[in-house]
Structures are given as C-alpha cells and as structure tokens.
Amino acid sequence: VAFKPLSASAVRRLAGICAPERVVTDPALLVDYGHDESSEPACLPEALVKVLSAEEAAAVVCLAREERVPLTPRGLGTGLAGGSIPTQGGILVSTELMDQVLEVDAGNLMVRTQPGVRTVHLQAACAEHGLYYPVDPASLDDCSIGGNVATNAGGARAYKYGVTGDYVRGIEAVLADGSIIRYGGKLHKNVTGYDLNKLLVGSEGTLGIITEITFKLVPKPRHQIDVLVPFDRLAQGVELCLRVIRDSRLMPAVVEFIERGGIAACNRVLGTCLPFADAAVQVLIELEGNDRQQVLADCVLLGETAMELGAREPLVADNATDQERLWTARRSLAKTLKQVYPQVTAEDVVVPLSELPATVELVAGLQQKYGIPIVPFGHIGDGNIHVDICRTITDDGKWQRVRSAVINELVDFVLARGGQITAEHGVGSAKRHLMKRALGPAELKVMRNLKQALDPEGILNPGKVLPDD
Amino acid sequence: VAFKPLSASAVRRLAGICAPERVVTDPALLVDYGHDESSEPACLPEALVKVLSAEEAAAVVCLAREERVPLTPRGLGTGLAGGSIPTQGGILVSTELMDQVLEVDAGNLMVRTQPGVRTVHLQAACAEHGLYYPVDPASLDDCSIGGNVATNAGGARAYKYGVTGDYVRGIEAVLADGSIIRYGGKLHKNVTGYDLNKLLVGSEGTLGIITEITFKLVPKPRHQIDVLVPFDRLAQGVELCLRVIRDSRLMPAVVEFIERGGIAACNRVLGTCLPFADAAVQVLIELEGNDRQQVLADCVLLGETAMELGAREPLVADNATDQERLWTARRSLAKTLKQVYPQVTAEDVVVPLSELPATVELVAGLQQKYGIPIVPFGHIGDGNIHVDICRTITDDGKWQRVRSAVINELVDFVLARGGQITAEHGVGSAKRHLMKRALGPAELKVMRNLKQALDPEGILNPGKVLPDD
C-alpha cells in the first residue's frame, strides 16, 4: 500500500471531527508520542488526535482511508514491542482522554470502562465495590486498560487468574471500514457467532480501535501471603511449582523468579536490601485464601516442600510492609535495569514449564559468550521468561550485532523447545522480523487473510505484527 | 455457492484417501449420522468418512473443494443446535476414530488429545496424573472433546472454571484450503500473532476441522460439598450467588437452578425422590477446597445467608452418594424431558445475572399463555438459562407456530435486556435465523468477512452459524 503524507486540509478536517485542541501537529509537542517503553526507534506521527468517543474515532478512520494515510492507535504508550509507535507517520489516535470507568455493576459482577483508564485505577474502582479485576501487568500504574486488551497483557497473576482477554466480556471497537461494532456485554458466556472479542484481544491495533470494554470480575480472597524461596537452581523452583499444584493441590496466585543479577541491580539502584541477595535464584510464590490460618498452614507446607527440594529456609511475608518491599523490587526490575544501562532490550519468550531451566541456562551461557549482562526473570507458572539484554557496548554497529546474535540464539532455542517468541508483550514492530521463524507459512497465511478481511487497505497500524511478504 | 452431488468416482477417491471400510455410503448405515441431539430435522450425508489423521482430513477437504461438494465435520453428534447435521448433503467427516489421549504431560500441566476422545475419558486420564480438566458439559459421558472445542462448550462449572476455550493452548486444524495449521502448544501464555486458537474455538466446523488439541490443566481441590437450597423465587437464588461471591468472597464451583416442573419430571421419570420437590426453585451450589472443615464452615455460612434470604433449611450433600443423586438428576434433566415428551426444543439464552429472575418470570408467563410445558433451568453463575420447550401439541402446523411464538417472545425479551441467543450450545442451523436480530449488520459483516477469508468457496459446514444474506 502506498500511503500519502497528511495534507493541511486533512488536518483541518481532523480539527472539525475533534476539537482543535485535541489535534496536535507541533513536533515539539509530539515527542512523547513517538516512542513506547521498548527500545524500538522513535518515530513521530504527522498528527496526534485525542478522541473522546467511538464516533470520533470512526470519523478519523474514514478520513484516514479517504486520505490514504496510516493510522496508529495508542493507549498510554507503555508497550514493550513498539506496537503504538507510528512507524509510517500518519495519524496517531490516542484514547488517553477516554479515561472514565463507566460503571462498576456489582449486581452483575461486571465493570464497563473506557480504554484510557489506567489499570490500577480500574482495579481500585472495582475494589470499592468489593470486586476484583486481577490482571496485574508490572506497568499497571502507568498502562491503559485499552492497551492491555490490545496486547492481551499478562502479568504476575496470570497462572491462577489468566490474562486480560480472559476477562473481556464485551467490546466496542472501530474497524478499518469506519464501522463501530459491539459484541457481547455483561454476559459470562456467549457463543453467538464468531467471538469478535477474542478476535480483537491481542490484535495490537491492527484490526480495530477499542473504544469500550466490559470485563467480568471475581471475588478477591481476603488474605495474600508471599513466600520467598532461595534456591541454587531454577529447576528446583519449577519442581516446587509442580509439587505445589499437583501434590498440594494449591493454586498459587503468583510463581515468579528472579536471579542473582537482577537482585543485585534492584538492591543497588533502589537502595533496598532484598533478602537472599547471594542466592542463585529467588522464587516468589503467593498463596491466598479467606482464612488466614489456612493460608499460613499452606505456606508452611510450601516451605517444607521447598526445603525438601534443597532450599534454605524461606522468608514468609505476611504483612503489607514486607510484601510491598518484595513487590516493589519485582515490579521495578525492568525500570531498574533501564536506570543502570543506557539501553535494555526486553525479550519475552515462553516455553513449556519443563524447558524453563534449560532456557535460563542458555541465557547464562549467552551472557558469558557475548560478555554483556543478560538478566532473565519472570513467571514460572506461565513458562514466561523475560530476558533483558543490557547494553554495555558503546559502538553502535557492534552492539546491534551482539544484540541480534543473542536474540537469534535465544529464539532458535525457544522455538526448538516448543516455545514462542512472545508471551505477553506482543509482536509490534520489535518481533515482526521473527514471525517467519515463529510460525509456518500456513499459519501466517491465515493471519494475513484475517488482516486482509478486516483491513483490506492496510490503514490500521501498518508495519506491525505481520511480517513483510 | 452451487454444490454438486458426490460422484461415484469421488467416493472411490475417498476410499483411496482413507481405508474403504472407513468410507460409508449405505444409507442404512448413515441413519445415526443424520441428526444430533437437537430437534433439527435429520439429513443424511452422501458419504461418511471416518478420518484417522489431519493429513487424511486435509486430503478429504481438497477432494471436497475439487468436486464442489460440501463438507461437514462431526464429533460424536451430541450437539444441541444442529451444527453437525449435513444439511446440504455431501461428505460428513467424523473424528470419532481419533479417540486417543496422546499425552498427559504432568511436568507441563498439559494434556494433548485427539478430538474424538469423550470428555469424561479425557477428565479420567488427567485425574490419573493428579490433574484436572474441569470443563463439565452435561453430556460429558457422550460428547467428544473436539466437539466441545468446536462449540466452546460450557457446563455446570463455568462460573469458576470457565469454558472449553479457556483451556485450549494449542490446536492442530485442517482449513478449507487443505492446509494444516498448528498454533500454540504447551504454553500457558502466547501472543505470537493473531490467536488462531481463539479463532477456531466456537467456530462450529465452519472455519476448520480440529484434529488435535492441547489443554492446560489445573489442580483439583480435594473436597467438594454441595448445598441444595429451596427458595420461593429465583431472585433469592441470584442474590445468594452475589452475596456468596461479593460478601463471603467465595468462588463457588457451581451455582445451578432448577424449578418445580423440572424437579417433578426428574422424580417421575428417574424414580428418584429429589428433596424439596415442592419448592418453587432449587439452587444447587458447590463449594470446594482442600480442607474439609473449611469447606464445611463455608457451607454453613452459605446456608445462613440463604436462610437470611428466606430459604428453608438447605440440604448439605457432603458424601459421594448424596452428591451423585443430586448430580444425576441435574445432568439427566434434558434427557428426562425427552422421555416424557415426544419433542423438546432446548433454548440456551444468556442474560446479565440481574435479568435472570425477570427472564424466568417471562418463561412462566409463556407457559401459561401458550399452554405448553416450558422448563427453565441452568447456570445462575453464568446468567445462562436453558429453556426446554416441550411438545404437547400433536398438530404439526400448530406446534410449529406455538414453538416459534415462544422462541420469538423469549429472544425479543432476552435481547432487550442485554442478553444473547446462545451461551453454550452454539448457533448451528437451529439459531441461524435469529442471528440478524441478535447482531447488527456491522458485526455480521465482520463474521462474513472472516468466513470469506478462511473459506471463500463456502465448503466447510455450509448453512451453519451465519444467516443467509
């Protein structure tokens, strides 16, 4: 598709669709909108449009089609794969002003929200009604719920509670033809035709602009207790996870791991003093329930199992202060690494649980082989490892070569072990070049057909998700 | 699309693709394959092919395309919407012989299975390894897991555990172009491109033939206790459900209801003696956990809450014998009604929880207005009401008019209250004529575009899901 530059008359039409103050073309004011939280190169839009409704978004889409200008939807720009960077210029449609929780419907165990609401605010609004939206991406203070839906965001609680898409019950979205679709609603189950919610979840703005979401809500157990277990090897942590689930029949809310390098960085930068700083790997497990004594008993059982597997005595964090200390460190790890190193590439591979230890061993080997810090951490329960590749090489060319080599070896290994290239960050622009290795021609053809069916002119978020032919 | 009759040479080619004994054309042997468990009219295929692999299924699809013959996939024929009836003749592709659980992978908390396995057998295979596949359609003894995926089957445990699609982690499927796609695998999270698993789940054989599935598994709590609560009104049951979840912060595995008419039918036909036969409505709630005393304490709390809401003293079933009695009755209700009446139309509407009482009141009104037995029962937690419309009118024309009138009033009401026409049975052929009322033109257009993108010649299961233009 050959796109055209955005004309001055088109900008005037945009100002007619939205109020002029919500149409921004001054490059100085666009700087913050040219990047996300990935290490993908920045790229400014020709115009930023802050829409207030599905109707406005639909009118902008129609204009983009008529003018043959690309359109990139954007939440709050916290993505880690470049998905919201307007790599081909054109119009950037921000939903940041659509920031209202429309209705917490406690009588139906549902919440209806605009897409620009921060995830943490959505959780708080639900909590006021005694209900729980449990999906918990590490960026929850900064990210938008619409972006969460567009990327099918995960987070620390995904093993027990699932990911964003598992809670979506209704969606309103603007499609590339300018139509507004509404599917589902306050319905716990619904098989009326093809599931358009599932189609849009995780489509990263390439199939539609999400303008309203209805989520189901669940009860939040009264007590959460965290157990921090120091191990010599990640394999022990994986085995602990399996024993807790299969033998103890517990459903942990969280099974995370972090390694010595990550612990050291947190302690140094945050000025914290995380326990077990000398342990090769720390495993963080959260158990929960309504009866505090029962949860404590479960934690004791967990601790005993951990020690049978060779752990030193675990730390139990059963009060808010201790828990906050552990969680702040864990949630801040990616940010912390960014403070230490000028550039960090955050990989997001996923493997079957049983392949986690070998994958982490591979990462250790890559660190040695290439002589750069590579910090693995993540979600044991989900088999999802974040591999943060930290830049210590000043020469641009050499850095790019080393970085590519690390990613290539990692990706080859993961794919050979039945894994995939992204578990929760998405493909965006960052992982597009890996898609032909990750998927076969038949699978890619289906995806291209889907894109073609919904956006034949390729207006919506071009240069994302699907690789070039 | 103009289809052609299946030629004798095509039948010979089918016998070359599969062994001749797996290609059936004798109408006498095809009778069982012309219907499902719905009241949709029977229709024989021109040939039945029992495939053993994705490769065979792909070759059959290619043949169907070349010969311009329609192809209908079929599991074990327990559907309730006509989805597997070959309404336009052609080839019926049965996966019944692909009946092996390929691998329970306890180290990855996953099971890999062929589609022809009965759901009950899949559950048993997982239980042998201490793991739980919790999705529990009432037909689990008879239905195939592939059919469950194709219809996104639900069941009694859907409020807590979700539906079939929530467990699908990998799919192998044959598409209309004869390609075999594989997406996902033993991966708890995966956002590598568009989610092809979610696309195929619930597509009712119109987008592909599912030939292998990988499901995630969970731990099964050690103790399940059922509480049967007699109420005067369903509204009390809905309120109980809300209080249990919001106030007591419990996640019930089951919140079902059945009304007086259904109870009477069960007692009469099954020769059982269900308790509270005189209650207007019975609510069945199952709580579970690893600590029996804790679960019992939760049940006591539940019982107290129920009595505050006006229930008589509930019955607690905490042993296998009592539980089996309750569950056999519940699971057999639909079958029981079929033994009493010559024909039963099973509707499957879903509404927001808060609209359940009004919907059931509407059903009572329809029963009075039209003078036929209409039995509502189902899943309070999901807002999903099955409305079994029982034939007592002998005259065919009059019965069809009454039946249509009941369905029309029900559907109008449900749609006006934010509900939908099917929660778990699917659209199939039975609810196709309702799709233009259930969805708007924009949503239907997207669905048509998806179908067109994946099956441009309309070979796969024609006459299902999507309405005529």
Which chain B residues are within 8 Å of A352, Cβ to Cβ? 105, 108, 110, 185-187
Nearest residue in chain B measured CA to CA from A384: B189
Judge contact between A206 and A176, C-beta under 8 A: no
Six-digit token string for B347: 């509707």
Q: Tell me if chain A has a CB within 8 Å of the CB of B175.
A: yes
3-state secondary structure of A255: strand
Q: Tell me if chain A has a CB within 8 Å of the CB of B339.
A: no
- Quote the CA–CA distance of A424 and A137 in Å, as a whole number: 9
Is B190 in Cβ contact with A420 (below 8 Å)? Answer: yes
Six-digit token string for B319: 């042993």
> Could you list the pLDDT tens digit for every one of the 469 residues in chain A?
689 999 999 999 999 999 999 999 999 999 999 999 999 999 999 999 999 999 999 999 999 999 999 999 999 999 999 999 999 999 999 999 999 999 999 999 999 999 999 999 999 999 999 999 999 999 999 999 999 999 999 999 999 999 999 999 999 999 999 999 999 999 999 999 999 999 999 999 999 999 999 999 999 999 999 999 999 999 999 999 999 999 999 999 999 999 988 888 888 887 777 788 889 999 999 999 999 999 999 999 999 999 999 999 999 999 999 998 888 877 788 888 888 899 999 999 999 999 999 999 999 999 999 999 999 999 999 999 999 999 999 999 999 999 999 999 999 999 999 999 999 999 999 999 999 999 999 999 999 999 999 999 999 999 999 999 8
Model confidence at B171: pLDDT above 80: yes
**Nearest residue to B174 (alpha-carbon basis) of B81, B269, B64:** B64
ipTM over 0.95: yes
- Quote the CA–CA distance of A352 and A382 in Å, as a whole number: 8
Q: Tell me if chain A has a CB within 8 Å of the CB of B293.
A: no
Is A152 in Cβ contact with B195 (below 8 Å)? Answer: yes
How much is the pLDDT for B1? 66
3-state secondary structure of B5: coil
Q: Is A65 exposed, middle or buried (0-12, 13-18, 19+ CB in 10 A)?
A: middle
- Quote the CA–CA distance of A374 and A376 in Å, as a whole number: 7
User: Which of A106, A421, A449 lies at the smallest CB-CB distance from B192?
Assistant: A421
Angle at A64 between CA A60 and CA A70, to 5 degrees: 120
Model confidence at B331: pLDDT above 70: yes
Is A246 in Cβ contact with B158 (below 8 Å)? Answer: no
Nearest residue in chain B measured CA to CA from A108: B353
Six-digit token string for A143: 């990210």
Six-digit token string for A346: 């955050």
User: Which of B207, B421, B446 lies at the smallest CB-CB distance from A181?
Assistant: B446
Would the CA dihedral through B20, B23, B27, B29 be positive or negative?
positive
Is A194 in Cβ contact with B465 (below 8 Å)? Answer: yes
Q: Tell me if chain A has a CB within 8 Å of the CB of B439.
A: yes
Q: Tell me if chain B has a CB within 8 Å of the CB of A268.
A: no
Which chain A residues are within 8 Å of B350, Cβ to Cβ? 187-190
Six-digit token string for B179: 């390609």
- Quote the CA–CA distance of A245 and B106 in Å, as a whole number: 10
Residues 344-383 of chain B with CB under 8 A from chain A are 350-354, 379, 381-383
DSSP state at residue B244 = I
Model confidence at B284: pLDDT above 70: yes
Helix (H) or strand (E) holding A67: helix A54-67
Q: Following CA atoms B295, B300, B303, B305 in sequence, which dihedral angle do they give, to the nearest 10 degrees?
A: -100
Judge contact between B62 and B77, C-beta under 8 A: no
Alpha helices by DSSP H, A68-144: 119-127
The CA-to-CA distance between both ends of chain B, in Å, stands at 13
Ordered DSSP codes for B105-141: ETTTTEEEE-TTSBHHHHHHHHHTTT-B-----TTTT
Q: Tell me if chain A has a CB within 8 Å of the CB of B185.
A: yes
Judge contact between B134 and B153, C-beta under 8 A: no
Amino acid at B124: A
Q: Tell me if chain A has a CB within 8 Å of the CB of B131.
A: yes
Is B248 in Cβ contact with A290 (below 8 Å)? Answer: yes
Judge contact between B248 and B222, C-beta under 8 A: no
Mean pLDDT of chain B: 96
The predicted model scores a pTM of: 0.97
How much is the pLDDT for A1? 66
Distances (CA, A) of A143 to A52, A74, A120, A324, A397: 18, 11, 8, 20, 33
Q: Tell me if chain B has a CB within 8 Å of the CB of A223.
A: no
- Quote the CA–CA distance of A100 and A118 in Å, as a whole number: 9
Helix axes A356-370, A234-242, angle to 10 degrees: 160
Amino acid at A465: V
